[in-house]
Chain A
Amino acid sequence: MRTFLCASAAVVLTACGGNWSTRDLEFVNVLPQRADLQARLPVVGSTSQPLEGVLTRKDGLNVGDPSQAYATTKKAATDFNGLLDQVLSILDTVRLYPPTTRSEDGRVWGPYPDAKNVGFEFQVAIRQLDPARFAWSIQARPRGGALFNVLTGTFDASTSAREGTGAFVVHVANFKDRLAVDPAMQSLDRIDVGYQTASWPRRVDMAFTFTPGNTSGLSVIGYTYRYLQDGRGALAYQVRTTSVEATVLSAVALWNTSGAGRAQAVVAEGTYTGATVSECWDTATKVVFYAESWPGGQMNGAVADCATIDGL
């Protein structure tokens, strides 16, 4: 009889439970999602031109030429998304699993071992600081050791857990010598990402802090991406170069729903500080206007042919 009762109790206990939790959904929504932050550049035509920066161009462009500004913007967006993918992919994985630990104000996933980093364990934790503010982290540790931060973030759920203002830091300096990382990150100490998804246009900022004295690897210093729900978008980014004429360049590209866009690159630091190159492209990513600001610079096409893009 005792065996029967124990077996019955075991059946009852094991038969109950699950991950049915609306609170879990609130917590996982706090984590930034790639779909909300990724740059979405309209795919128009089929450009096969090399993704070279505007400043690598030696000669000016004529109307009807393939737009190099579009190609450069597309590469910048791809790089931007690639970095986000590296940082946020682990969060997408976390979403698919129920938390390991639930408390009234928090959820913890892990620590889980990681196949890419043998001997290390990862843990994702989210804590609700007040009704609308959350803090989250991705931490790692050698098995049995102390945890160290990989990512730390905050989110202010001004509208809902999915929509608000957030920021997170990738503590590259903490882990680049211990964990497997992309070679592009070896030159960095940290990446700061800020975003706002509560209103339109939405915004994502990404800034890189380089290891002091490091001049290799990434040339981009940071990005700012804004977009509207109809597909209009803008991507600003800063690039450092080894050229004394233009040590730091600042580029802004805007596009509308049809794919037509315009871009302007400004020398932010260097002997040519203030010099600009402007370029507009049509829906087929062909140049409709090109202008160089320095004396003797080229200007082809009419600025009136450039697409009007506002609201960003």
Chain B
Amino acid sequence: MTPCRTGFPLAPGRGSARGAKPALALLCVLAASSALARDSGPLHRFALFIGNNTGGEGTRPLYYAKDDAKRLHDVFTRLGGVRPEDAMLLLDEDADAALTALGELERRAKDAKARGERTSLFFYYSGHAKDGALRLGDSRLPLESVKSRLAQSPSDTRVAVFDACRSGALTRTKGVRRAPAFEVETGATRAAKGLVILTSSAADEDSQESDLIGASYFSYHLATGLLGGADESNDGRVSLAEAYAYAYERTVASTADSAAGPQHPTFSFDLAGNGDVVLTDVKARREGLRIPESAPPGTYFIIDGRGVVVAEALKNAAERLIALSPGEYVVKRRLADHLRLGRVRIDEGQLVTLDEASFQNARFSDDPVKGTGLSRVYERHWSLLAAGTFQLVFDRPTGSGGQFPSAPYVGAEATIHNLIAKGVGLGLDASYGWTSGVVGSDLLPSTPYSFTNVLFGTTLLYEWLQEGRWVPFAGVHLGLNLMSRSFEDPSLPRQSYTTLTPGVVGGLKLRITKTVGLVARARVHYLLYNVDETRSLGTADLGLMIDWEFRE
């Protein structure tokens, strides 16, 4: 266990930080009084979950905001001690509905408090945020008013989680343009006692979604941590500090190599006198998977029927509990050179003990993780590419009877990405090639000529790893070649040849910045010549290009 540093600059019980050290500090600070908090009697929990994929004008739809809200709602109602009637789930609702729901929960909390109960309120939001307001469809909910409401809430503890953008506009980010920083440290929050605010990313970062996990990174890791993966203390309960530390670490790791850059969750807390908050009690639920002490140590991934990792647990010497909904799961353990795979079935109310010995070895290529399998429209955007290429013609030199010369080309290409499906793009290109040489044959003396080719084309391509730094792609290309050659000898006519050239294309893009990349590309085309004779020729063009991506 990592020791807590003495002399940490934040005052005990109140702080605001970003990064691994603050996360550790939060863990340390809260852990100091967690035992007291856990033994302070019954706690009546209320929770509001808001998910909205749309953010109105100037934003692009998100894909998993509602799923995030549903997932957290499910976790808290199953494991978080929130009775279903005390949990409200708002999907694609507007700001008025959110305020009404919050008011209703506040009223219930006030009533509970009047009955002498301790209360807590969990507020979760996943969606767009921009210009100082949560964007729920076309309606706006000023952030300041939300925080004021939470600060003045009658509940003893209030935990707010905002999984929303801070700024930027990159792949699968929650937001479409730079916006003022999402300030969680306001006068209202500092004055409040028992208020914790978590945000999914720092003020100058984007919050990102992923198709592979079917969720935003932060909410996904928060939810899987609450299932038991974050139970660092191994007591069968996941505290706020544990959940945050777990979500923080994995969110940073998951986004480190993304095109949008690493995403650092933040927190602001003031739990003086309230201690840590237990968010989920995996042990009490007794429904899920038990990884016994005898199981080999390591990280276990629990994969649902869609091929999505729904939970992961780092198993050390002690046993681990992972809360899971009834269903069939594949459990994966990754070793250095192969996988260990096993299947478990969890029935309602059943805690299944994992038998690692029954696992089978599998190759990495048989990894059952497939992601969400979603193939719906990915974020469309377009790019512009400036190309310098050299086209090789698979033919004899023109001075020895060949028809077409090899030549350098310059051109440009515009591509719409994710046009009809994720990864599928359609490009239009135009380029100009030129060279000079001699044409000759047994009966024709070496005759100097100038060659030009205006090439128009369209490309249907597929890109892999769009969010990564390296983006391989492949596809098919159809070119329309308008070739001509004119001769120094004025008595010879200018000749032209127009033909369609089908081909294949492949390449690799290296993102240098968020919008600029270098592309190495190769294309091979079939070229039919049919004037003097019918000949099947081919061309290959190799090029280096600069690519600009334009996203809102």
Contact check, B493 vs A96: say whether CB atoms are below 8 A apart: yes
Contact check, A19 vs B443: say whether CB atoms are below 8 A apart: no
9-residue interface stretch from B266-274, B331-339, B526-534: B526-534
Complex: how many Å from CA A26 to CA B493?
12
Whether A160 sits at the interface, judged by CB under 8 Å, is yes
Contact check, A25 vs B447: say whether CB atoms are below 8 A apart: yes
Kindly identify which residue among A26, A35, A95, A159 contacts B441, using a CB–CB cutoff of 8 Å.
Answer: A26
Interface size class of B (residues with CB under 8 A): 20 to 34
Complex: how many Å from CA A226 to CA B401?
33
Kindly identify which residue among A12, A17, A95 contacts B492, using a CB–CB cutoff of 8 Å.
Answer: A95
Whether B294 sits at the interface, judged by CB under 8 Å, is no
Complex: how many Å from CA A92 to CA B491?
7
8 Å CB interface, A3-22 against B: 12, 15-22
Contact check, A157 vs B443: say whether CB atoms are below 8 A apart: yes
Contact check, A25 vs B439: say whether CB atoms are below 8 A apart: yes
A26-B441, A162-B445 are contacts. A19–B493 as well, Cβ < 8 Å?
Answer: yes
8 A/B residue pairs, CB under 8 Å, sorted by A: A12-B500, A15-B480, A15-B499, A17-B499, A22-B403, A26-B443, A98-B493, A162-B445
Whether B495 sits at the interface, judged by CB under 8 Å, is yes
A157 to chain B, nearest CB (A): 6
Whether B496 sits at the interface, judged by CB under 8 Å, is yes
Complex: how many Å from CA A12 to CA B499?
8
Q: Mark B526-552, 1 if CB is under 8 A from A, else 0.
A: 001111100000000000000000000
Whether A102 sits at the interface, judged by CB under 8 Å, is yes
Whether A135 sits at the interface, judged by CB under 8 Å, is no
Contact check, A16 vs B496: say whether CB atoms are below 8 A apart: no
A12-B500, A23-B532 are contacts. A18–B444 as well, Cβ < 8 Å?
Answer: no
**Across-interface contacts of A157 in B (CB, < 8 A):** 443
Where chain A touches its partner, the secondary structure class is: mixed
Complex: how many Å from CA A20 to CA B497?
5
**Across-interface contacts of A159 in B (CB, < 8 A):** 445
Whether B384 sits at the interface, judged by CB under 8 Å, is no
Whether B133 sits at the interface, judged by CB under 8 Å, is no
Complex: how many Å from CA A136 to CA B35?
110
Contact check, A18 vs B496: say whether CB atoms are below 8 A apart: yes
A160 to chain B, nearest CB (A): 4
A4 to chain B, nearest CB (A): 16
Complex: how many Å from CA A17 to CA B500?
10
Contact check, A97 vs B444: say whether CB atoms are below 8 A apart: no
Contact check, A102 vs B531: say whether CB atoms are below 8 A apart: yes
Complex: how many Å from CA A159 to CA B442?
9
Whether A121 sits at the interface, judged by CB under 8 Å, is no
Whether B113 sits at the interface, judged by CB under 8 Å, is no
Whether A124 sits at the interface, judged by CB under 8 Å, is no
Whether B498 sits at the interface, judged by CB under 8 Å, is yes
Contact check, A22 vs B492: say whether CB atoms are below 8 A apart: no
Complex: how many Å from CA A29 to CA B500?
30
Whether B110 sits at the interface, judged by CB under 8 Å, is no
Contact check, A16 vs B499: say whether CB atoms are below 8 A apart: yes
- Chain B residue with minimal CB distance to A31? B491
Q: Which of B443, B483, B496, B529 is most buried by chain A, counting CB atoms within 10 A of its CB?
A: B443
Complex: how many Å from CA A162 to CA B495?
18
Our count of residue pairs bridging A and B at CB distance below 8 angstroms stands at 86
B489 to chain A, nearest CB (A): 9
8 Å CB interface, A100-154 against B: 102, 131-132
Whether B285 sits at the interface, judged by CB under 8 Å, is no
Contact check, B495 vs A95: say whether CB atoms are below 8 A apart: no
- Chain B residue with minimal CB distance to A163? B445
Q: Can you name 5 extra interface pairs (CB under 8 A) apart from A16-B530, A20-B531?
A: A26-B441, A28-B492, A132-B443, A159-B445, A161-B444
**Across-interface contacts of B497 in A (CB, < 8 A):** 17-20
**Across-interface contacts of A28 in B (CB, < 8 A):** 491-493
Contact check, B531 vs A25: say whether CB atoms are below 8 A apart: no
Whether A33 sits at the interface, judged by CB under 8 Å, is yes
A144 to chain B, nearest CB (A): 29
A20-B485, A20-B531, A22-B439 are contacts. A29–B498 as well, Cβ < 8 Å?
Answer: no
Q: Which of A16, A29, A95, A97 is most buried by chain B, counting CB atoms within 10 A of its CB?
A: A16
Complex: how many Å from CA A102 to CA B530?
11
8 Å CB interface, B493-537 against A: 493, 495-500, 528-532
B529 to chain A, nearest CB (A): 8
B229 to chain A, nearest CB (A): 54
- Chain B residue with minimal CB distance to A160? B445
**Across-interface contacts of A20 in B (CB, < 8 A):** 403, 483, 485, 495-497, 529, 531
B452 to chain A, nearest CB (A): 12
Complex: how many Å from CA A96 to CA B489?
12
Complex: how many Å from CA A162 to CA B487?
15
Q: Mark B164-186, 1 if CB is under 8 A from A, else 0.
A: 00000000000000000000000
**Across-interface contacts of A22 in B (CB, < 8 A):** 401, 403, 439, 441, 444, 532
Q: Mark B379-399, 1 if CB is under 8 A from A, else 0.
A: 000000000000000000000
**Across-interface contacts of B441 in A (CB, < 8 A):** 22, 26
A12-B500, A33-B491 are contacts. A18–B531 as well, Cβ < 8 Å?
Answer: yes
8 Å CB interface, B407-452 against A: 439, 441-445, 447
Complex: how many Å from CA A157 to CA B485?
25
B476 to chain A, nearest CB (A): 16
A182 to chain B, nearest CB (A): 23
Contact check, A25 vs B491: say whether CB atoms are below 8 A apart: no
Contact check, B493 vs A29: say whether CB atoms are below 8 A apart: no
Complex: how many Å from CA A157 to CA B443?
7
**Across-interface contacts of B495 in A (CB, < 8 A):** 18-21, 24, 98
**Across-interface contacts of B496 in A (CB, < 8 A):** 18-20
**Across-interface contacts of A23 in B (CB, < 8 A):** 532
A202 to chain B, nearest CB (A): 15
- Chain B residue with minimal CB distance to A23? B532
Q: Which of A19, A92, A132 is most buried by chain B, counting CB atoms within 10 A of its CB?
A: A19
B434 to chain A, nearest CB (A): 16
**Across-interface contacts of B442 in A (CB, < 8 A):** 131
8 Å CB interface, B453-508 against A: 480, 483, 485, 491-493, 495-500
Kindly identify which residue among B444, B493, B498, B532 contacts A17, using a CB–CB cutoff of 8 Å.
Answer: B498
B36 to chain A, nearest CB (A): 75
Contact check, B500 vs A16: say whether CB atoms are below 8 A apart: yes
- Chain B residue with minimal CB distance to A35? B491
Task: List 10 tightest A-B contacts by C-beta distance, closest first.
Answer: A20-B497, A18-B497, A161-B443, A160-B445, A18-B496, A26-B443, A23-B532, A21-B531, A16-B499, A20-B495
**Across-interface contacts of B480 in A (CB, < 8 A):** 15
